[in-house]
Amino acid sequence: MKMMVHGLFWSLAAGLLLTACNSDDADIAFANGETVASEENDSIADPPTDDAPGEDDNALRSVMFVGNNWDGTATVVDANTFEVLRTGINLIPDEDQEFADIAANPVDLAFYQLIKFGPGEGNEQYVDDMFTTTDGRYLAVSRPSFADVIWVDIEKITNGGGVDAIVREQDMDGQRTDHMALSPDGRRLLVSDSTSRQVIEYSMVDETRDDGSEVKIGDRLRTFESGETPHESNYNEAGDTIYHASIGRVYTPGDNPELLPELLGPARDALKGDRWYQIVNNDDFGIRARWDMRAELAEAGYPNMSPAVRPMAVSKDERFIYFQVSYFHGLVEFDTEAADVNANVDYTLGGVPEPAFGAVRRVVSLPNFVPEVPRETYVNDSAHHGLSLNDAGDTLCVAGTVDDYAALVDRQTMAYSLFNATTTDHTYLKPYWTTEGPNDTCWVSLSGSDAVAVLDTRMHEELAYLDVGNHPQRIRLGSVPERVVAGWAQTP
């Protein structure tokens, strides 16, 4: 009970502070297609301009990057053999300067503590997400507690480099960074600016644009509007469409009907904030469609469910979207080609009316192994947090976060196989993310076990179980030059 009261205190404190700050955010002018001047950090060096690499230097190794959120480190794993190549990579070499800057600003310090005792469960959130550049030379890292994104030289940082390994840094307009997304061509990076209701686009390359303007890696380019607490973004394969969801203030109470019944919905929504699911055109960042998924679920016969879309997976033909919602042990199938159920415009979100298309087709329940656990104790409202679709497009991979399992789910029948302490020789504590890997594999971060599991989505087998750092969170497929990997083999 003491822990619940303590958690509720921090949740309410976070809600009050963030609500106050976000009331000012309403006046933010979004770029929406216009170029925004980048903000240079004079303490960070520009990316080096070495001579062109030799032919052998162009060879790349496909790797798994694992971000250990609470440690502020990363682990690199061979994407095909699952050999751990490098671990304990320090992604916060500038922590002393960051702490000094935070301590000097009372608002920043308050948010730092709220992030630690809210989403961080009493721990700093040092590393959330990461992506490599296509040449494997640089790694972009979002760092929630520092509210920034950095670009680091992979060779330097993986060989113990300090601050000089950071080639670029960009601060958020708000107070926390979160999920990121990399465009299919590797040129652009989307970063969720958690407390400023926006997603920011950055460059992942140095290039000259058609108009003759120069763009450097780390330059800030455009933004698009989101609801409260922007969360996950995904590009389609063509790169012309972005699927994005906001999850609201997950660190506050309010979605639990026992605390705020449906009749108090307006009060609950005011506390939680706008929770939108939207499709964005990449060419101009215009909003193609925006849904309230609680309304869509209710329309399909599933009332009183949360509208906060958590991780998602989009079918290759982009007709079906699969997603998790707060507090629900399972997933939802949404058909973007279906007509709206009642053909009425029942709501308008941020000036965008309900689309005439899109309908919930299936709501699929998966095992709830913790029916007696109060929902307010779920980490950031997550019953399940992690969903991906394999290369073949026939199997969904689910992180059953509070249930301590991963599940492989047949997309047609929704039959599933569970992976947990009962069905394997390993613990599967607090799975917090899944990513599609090469060769129809699924990579699962087991944040409570400090491990990563690799699952075969065809044979429904566990292929590997890897010890990594403290609280692994996001896992991403990336590239590293073979010459860098060879150097690791020669050093401890």
130 Cβ partners below 8 Å, 6+ apart? 65, 67, 74, 91, 139, 140, 141, 142, 180, 474, 476, 478
pLDDT at residue number 390: 97
Average pLDDT, the chain: 88
Q: Please say whether the beta carbons of 221 and 202 come within 8 A.
A: yes
Tokens of 128: 């959330």
331 Cβ partners below 8 Å, 6+ apart? 322, 323, 324, 363, 364, 366, 384, 387, 396, 398, 409
Where is 331: in which H helix or E strand?
Answer: strand 330-339
- Bridge partners, 349 (sequence order): 352
pLDDT in tens, 162-214: 999 999 999 999 999 999 999 999 999 999 999 999 999 999 999 999 999 99
Which regions of the chain are under pLDDT 50? 1-55
pLDDT at residue number 255: 62
pLDDT at residue number 39: 39
Tokens of 329: 């042990």
pLDDT at residue number 116: 81
pLDDT at residue number 18: 46
**Cα gap 428→272, rounded to integer Å:** 30
Q: Please say whether the beta carbons of 395 and 461 come within 8 A.
A: no
Q: Please say whether the beta carbons of 436 and 448 come within 8 A.
A: no
pLDDT at residue number 377: 84
Strands 472-481 and 60-68: antiparallel
8 Cβ partners below 8 Å, 6+ apart? 253, 376
Q: Which of 179, 237, 202, 130 is nearest to 476 (CA)?
A: 130
pLDDT at residue number 374: 86
104-141 burial by CB neighbour count: b if 16+ within 10 A, else e? eeeebebbbbbbbbbbbbebbbbbbbbbbbbbbbbbbb
Q: Which of 171, 77, 74, 177 is nearest to 119 (CA)?
A: 177
- Bridge partners, 233 (sequence order): 244
pLDDT at residue number 103: 92
pLDDT at residue number 58: 81
Q: Please say whether the beta carbons of 404 and 417 come within 8 A.
A: no
pLDDT at residue number 380: 86
pLDDT at residue number 36: 36
SS3 percent helix, strand, coil of the chain, rounded to 5, is 20, 35, 45
